[in-house]
Amino acid sequence: MHPEQFFSATYREARQAFLDVCLLRGAQVDQHLHPRRGRDGEILATDVARLGPDDAGRVFMTMSATHGVEGFCGSGVQTGALASGLYDDRDDDFAVVLIHAINPFGFSWLRRVTHENIDLNRNHVDHDQPYATNEGYEALKGALCPDMWTAESRAACHAAMETYRERRGDMALQGAISAGQYSHPPGLFYGGSAPSWSATTLTSIVRRHAAGARHIAFLDYHTGLGPFGVGELISDHETGEPGHRRLVDWFGEGAVTSTSDGTSVSAPLTGTNNLGVARAADHASLTMATLEYGTSPLEEVLESLMADCWLHNHGDADSDLGRAIKAEIRRCFYPDTGTWKEMVFERATAVEKTMLAGLAAQQ
């Protein structure tokens, strides 16, 4: 089987391919229906496939489409992993749970955010407590979310960001933009003022499927940062935590990066998915990671997000400009080439095999 066949052109196709292979492989499937419809009027859902007993003590979970438009990657990997029999060799105390399209709205509509304009991977904070202020974002929000999308306005936006970069440095700029913000609902990387539909769905899935687990390994698929086709394994733990040490034991020194020590392509983030998983499964040991695949240069990725933000606040998605913006954000998060898909699938298979073996060794 060639990896390219596992990847789909639309959310609708991806969902059907995933459900078809679930049926073929005898996986139990739960469906969590989304309150909105897709861009072609299709039903939206988060589909959860399970292989293994309900009371398994060791549970391996993967998740796609945290950031909807990134779902092409994770969905292709999940479909291919099932189709290729990656999970066939399991003992009676082991289960595999595949969370397909946790943000189906963003997947269908080619948006990174949920239907609430929330970045799911910034949404898992305590909303009853005061939110942290992202001072860098406050300084740049006018540049990041302009009222107009013209050559002149784009030049002014980039000039403002370049000035910030010269004063503070590359990673400070990246953190100002992407770390998460809770003051500007129409803007980029907005963490929300309450749990989103996708956040509450995720926690309910984890509670249901990890209820009897002693040990959980969790892998979240992302795209947009790093060199083309390279999958960086980012620890979802602080470097001193047991989960991080397990990842290093499983993969080796230097094979796992972390935002907490500056080794990752990602800046430190707030309200990430691992926090929601940890709250939902605080009875189990957790080993959590993000697999982040590079696509296009960071400047192009950011520009595509800024354009999409402008489009949904001020533009017309059915205009020529709107269609061009949608094509560009898709390209920046899903390089639709055979080479990229093959790199993605080979790396994902290697990472999942290592995590499966590490989890299987837990008593």
Confirm whether pTM is higher than 0.95: yes
Whether the predicted pLDDT of 1 surpasses 80: no
Whether the predicted pLDDT of 41 surpasses 80: yes
Residue 2 pLDDT class (50, 70, 90 cuts): confident
pLDDT of residue 188: 97
Closest CA to 218 of 70, 59, 94: 59
**Pairing of β 231-235 and β 285-294:** antiparallel
Percent of the chain with pLDDT over 70: 100
Whether the predicted pLDDT of 147 surpasses 80: yes
Residue 293 pLDDT class (50, 70, 90 cuts): very high
Whether the predicted pLDDT of 277 surpasses 80: yes
What number of helices (H) and strands (E) belong to the chain?
Answer: 12, 7
Query: Tokens in use for 261?
Result: 């020590």
| Cα maximum dimension of the chain | 62
How wide is the angle at C-alpha 273 spanned by C-alphas 31 and 204, nearest 5°?
A: 35
d(CA 82, CA 337): 22
Whether the predicted pLDDT of 37 surpasses 80: yes
Instruction: Give me the residues paired with residue 293 across strands.
Output: 223, 231
pLDDT of residue 155: 94
pLDDT of residue 363: 86
List the CATH code of the domain at 3-126+196-295+335-360.
3.40.630.10
Query: Tokens in use for 235?
Result: 């620890």
Mean pLDDT, to the nearest integer, of 231-242?
96
Residue 323 pLDDT class (50, 70, 90 cuts): very high
- Mean pLDDT, the chain, as a whole number? 96
The domain limits of the chain are: 3-126+196-295+335-360, 135-178+301-327
**Pairing of β 58-63 and β 215-228:** parallel
More confident residue, 1 or 67: 67
Query: Tokens in use for 32?
Result: 């969590």
pLDDT of residue 101: 98
pLDDT of residue 42: 98
Mean pLDDT, to the nearest integer, of 191-211?
98
Q: How far is CA 335 from the centre of its chain?
A: 16
How wide is the angle at C-alpha 81 spanned by C-alphas 263 and 31, nearest 5°?
A: 100
Q: Say if CB 315 and CB 150 are below 8 A apart.
A: no
d(CA 231, CA 344): 7
Which tens digits make up the pLDDT trace of 18-36? 999 999 999 999 999 999 9
pLDDT of residue 6: 98
d(CA 307, CA 324): 10
Whether the predicted pLDDT of 288 surpasses 80: yes
DSSP letters for 173-238: HHHHHHS-BSS-TTSTTB--SS--HHHHHHHHHHHHHTTT-SEEEEEEEEEEEEEET-EEEEESS-
Whether the predicted pLDDT of 104 surpasses 80: yes
